[in-house]
Structure 1
Amino acid sequence: MKPWIQHLPLIVTLTLSGAAIVHGPIAQLPDYHNFADQSLLFGIPHFADVISNLGFVLVALWGLARLAPCTRHESIANGWAGYRLFLIALLLTGVGSSYYHLAPDNARLVWDRLPIALACGGLLAGVWGDTRNRSSTVPSVLLAIAAVLSVGWWYVTEQAGAGDLRPYLLLQGLPLLLIPLWQWIHDRPRAERLAFTYALAIYALAKLAELGDHPIARATGMLSGHTLKHLLASAAAAFIVAALIRRIRQVPLGVKLPPTAASHSTFSTINKTTSH
């Protein structure tokens, strides 16, 4: 692999950041809070948009229950600080998004966007730790701060009458590009790369569904684009959690991964070693 390839993630990050600066402020859509789901069921307004957030909560609890007892497991130890942030943020996304959709406005939207930004930061930190074989604690802290600042920047500028979503959107977009690049450059196992690819592809579909909120509602007659976004994003998170759980099943606790393990699609080398 050519040496400059190692710097490709940094080049991508700087390019996108530069493009955002050149582009100028990106404002929130004026009718953003006008969602297609206007249902009222069991006294809950916007019922489908609210209840569909349960998926985030269930996936987060599943991940925490299965992975938290295995934080020292060699296969997730480096990335755990990031993945822990991701899972906690995913849980908070379910709560914050439900709170927002009960009565959508900018003040409540902060509590929807903040955990989403934290989840993106956590996922970036987790994969960075995996691919670099280094603790993701410091990147997790830095990216958590960046997440808070990105949402804070939007809210302050929105209150001033010139809302700017650039930092928030950048933090959401970077995982879609950096994670596949890191995994390719550092030759992560094929099954792991596929799982993350599926997850990121589903999340991209979720963002498209969000943009088509009203058209999708008209086409289906029962499911709005924003509700579909919640369901797809939950499914994307489930792919990631399943991939992490698969790791701790494949490698016995206490067995250290050799430096070459990342170049194989399975952990056959470890299994052979421990079988004798």
Structure 2
Amino acid sequence: MAWMVNKQVPIGKWKRFHLWLGALLCWLCFMIVTPKITLSHKPHQFADMRNFLGVPNTLNVITNFPFLLVGVVGFVLSLQGCFFNISLKGEVWGWALFYGGIVGLAFGSAHYHLKPDDSRVMWDTLPMMIAYSSLFSSFMAERVGQRAGLSCLFGLLLIVLLSTAYARTFNDLRLCMMFQLIPCIAIPAMTFLYPPKYTHSRYWLWAAGVCLLAKFEDALDKKIYNANRYLISGHSLEHLCSAAIPVLFAIMLIHRTIRFQRLGDLKERP
């Protein structure tokens, strides 16, 4: 293994201020130009609502099982510390919380699809947002540094709570939906801006592509269901496709090796 120090200049306070200001302005523009997305009964009407063996919306429920399987395995391996190649404690927290969010998504999504309605939809959305937050913070820890990753993790988790409260209080899902799309856009963009600390960084791009494919399948729920002669709906395929994302990251964590150590991370290590 080659050890070297990355001499990349850290982001200064003034530059960070401009980044946060730019993000705030983008958020304000988004909230101004987009219409309010309210909770309604229409989004709960999925194409495949068949009932097998007394389980409502059977396929939409059981296709959450892969989330549980890969989430539990990933959570245990993240904390174990010897199977996944994770070099810093900050990364351990990010990846463990990511896979923990995947486990929560398995239960929350299954609970929601048993009886889809407004009162249950947040059980489906909240674990997903926690997983996205943890994933993006892990990416920041890898590309920028451990301190940036941890700051991003706590900041995004706070935004998750605020977005959820906003959705429930003002009956507006725009913040939650925007939050889910940010990693799909930000991760590919930052991939070309910051050098990877580890090998196998292409898995980040593959995961972003799979995420976009899953969103595409969900948007074409009924059309996909009709096209395959009512075998499986686009929404169920979205579950299976999304479950491949933590699998890709598990493969990445197993096989990757350190390309270089950042100076800031070396100072923070015990």
TM-score normalized with structure 1 length: 0.80
Cα displacement string for residues 188-224 of structure 1 (whole angstroms, at most 9, x for unaligned residues):
1685331011111111111111111111111112110
Q: Displacement, 1:157?
A: 1.6
Counterparts of 1:167 and 1:121, CA distance in 2: 14
Distance 1:155 1:23, change over 3 A: same
* Partner of residue 239 from structure 1, selected from 227, 236, 248: 248
Letter in 1 for 2:87: S
Counterpart for residue 70 of structure 1:
81
Cα displacement string for residues 46-77 of structure 1 (whole angstroms, at most 9, x for unaligned residues):
00000000111111112112221118965354
Counterpart for residue 261 of structure 2:
258
Does the alignment pair 1:203 with 2:215? Answer: no
Counterpart for residue 110 of structure 2:
98
Q: Displacement, 1:101?
A: 0.2
Does the alignment pair 1:119 with 2:119? Answer: no
Counterpart for residue 99 of structure 2:
87
Counterpart for residue 56 of structure 1:
67
Contact 1:118–1:148 under 8 Å retained in 2: no
Does the alignment pair 1:40 with 2:23? Answer: no
Counterparts of 1:237 and 1:137, CA distance in 2: 20
Distance 1:206 1:12, change over 3 A: farther
Letter in 1 for 2:203: A
TM-score normalized with structure 2 length: 0.81
Counterparts of 1:12 and 1:83, CA distance in 2: 28
Counterparts of 1:238 and 1:69, CA distance in 2: 17
Counterpart for residue 234 of structure 2:
225
Counterpart for residue 20 of structure 1:
30
Contact 2:67–2:102 under 8 Å retained in 1: yes
Contact 2:48–2:233 under 8 Å retained in 1: yes
Q: Displacement, 1:237?
A: 2.0
Cα displacement string for residues 207-251 of structure 1 (whole angstroms, at most 9, x for unaligned residues):
11111111111111211011011001001221122212223xx46
Identity of aligned residues (%): 25
Return 74-83 or 222-231, whichever deviates more.
74-83
Counterparts of 1:223 and 1:187, CA distance in 2: 40
1:42 match: secondary structure: coil
Root-mean-square deviation (CA, aligned residues, Å) is 2.9
Moved over 6 A (4+): 6-9
Q: Displacement, 1:91?
A: 0.6
* Partner of residue 145 from structure 1, selected from 158, 169, 177: 158
Counterparts of 2:102 and 2:86, CA distance in 1: 24
